[in-house]
Amino acid sequence: MQAVSRRLYARLKKEGIPVICVADQHAAVRLTRELGPGSVIRLPDERESHEQAMMEKELLVKVKSCYGSSGERGRAREREASPYLVGIGASTGGPKALLTVLGELPEDTCAILAVQHLSSGFSENFAQYLDQRCRMRVKQAVTDETARRGTVYLAAENHQMTVQRHGDEYVLRVAPGGQGYEFCPSVDCLFESMAACAGKNAMGVILTGMGNDGSEGIYKMREAGAYTVCQDQETSDIYSMPKEALLRGGVVKQLPLEAIAGEIGLFGRRGKKDEGSK
């Protein structure tokens, strides 16, 4: 990708304008590495084939998910950079738990960054599944895009999602590989970046899951002044991740699953009050 094309792509993503690249196999590998897996569709080797039909269907789904109705396009353009962030980490039992939480949130909720451990090949489909069932927009995260209100960013498989602060905005970074973390994507990796750049402007949430991913990251978030919660044992399919986060000392409050959306809403409303007092 030429430098001018990269600059144009970065500017379009920052403005919240969807970008879809269609490329042959060789170029698709390079573009996926540069732009992230959510923005690239690979052309099949043979145009008259089953793969061609599948590619056309994938392109249609991506276009519809990006634009939807004219009303959705208008709302997408109006989304502003979110000065507050919510990070959510989940594993086993997480897809159902995430739908329960995200499905209750209004479309003007502050930006949400989510890591869900999934089997290979499911992250983009899962983002589309959630998007169809939530008032917030749900999409797979792409590097260099600004975190915006009303949007949930789901970490791509085999990529680490982090966030950095640029002036008054939070900008997502998506990079391939584990980068020293046991999981890819990793809740710890995301939460540690949120602790470093967002501090008290962030909220961390640990949902049901196996293992201890997120326990160190949410501890660092709490140390940095973030508000932190986890799902309680009674409503967790697997209590391991919430329990480890609690034992590490990173959790302010345990809540049943059905109460977590309300807690995110309260956090977002406190943020709006803080903005109004500036």
B/e letters for 184-217, b = 16+ CB within 10 Å, e = fewer, are bbbbbbbbbbbbebbeebbbbbbbbbebbbbbbb
Residues designated catalytic: 91, 117, 213
Measured CA to CA, the distance from residue 155 to residue 235 in angstroms comes to 24
The pair of three-digit structure tokens given for residue 243, joined into one six-digit string: 């329990």
Instruction: Tell me which amino acid residue 160 is.
Output: Q
Measured CA to CA, the distance from residue 208 to residue 229 in angstroms comes to 12
Strands 111-116 and 227-231: unpaired
**With contact defined as beta carbons under 8 Å apart, do 254 and 246 qualify?**
yes
The pair of three-digit structure tokens given for residue 2, joined into one six-digit string: 């030429």
The pair of three-digit structure tokens given for residue 98, joined into one six-digit string: 């995430």
**With contact defined as beta carbons under 8 Å apart, do 44 and 52 qualify?**
yes
Contacts of 18 (CB under 8 A, 6+ apart): 66, 67
